[in-house]
A = this chain, B = another copy of it.
């Protein structure tokens, strides 16, 4: 792994703390699922986590993995790559632009930024491969969702602009 062993312990401690605070049970499965994601450095999907955990907990089921991953996500202990729980979305803009994504609803808005466009990719990244595009993803909660308050999720972006 990339990070020191301490880091895993710290993440697990955080899981414990959050579960206690929110009143969630700290089951064997939850710990192992969280550990699997925390230990991997390549951002596994649910199926991959399932395979990994199953090596240690043979009775684990795939649906528990899904339920737990989304639970951890709601608790803020893990995040997702790309928009959350969303089918693939397409973009016809080929010029350099960036995205603001609302974590509550499906809203995504483009924006331009000369500063962001000017970003130069670090040398270590260039060593990973050929870079074709660099764009900034800003996540947050849109004004409409913020107005509606609460932590619940809205399925429909309000502003039709």
Spell out A's residues near B (CB within 8 Å). Answer: 2, 11, 34, 37-38, 40-47, 49, 69, 72-73, 76-92, 94, 99-103, 107-111, 113, 115-116, 119, 121-122, 124-125, 127-143, 145-146, 157, 161
Contact = CB atoms under 8 A, between A and B. Distances in A.
Contact of A69 (B90, B109, B113, B130): B90
A135 B82 CA distance: 11
Nearest to A127: B143
A111 B124 contact: yes
Contacts of A115: 119, 122
A90 B43 contact: yes
B143 A129 contact: yes
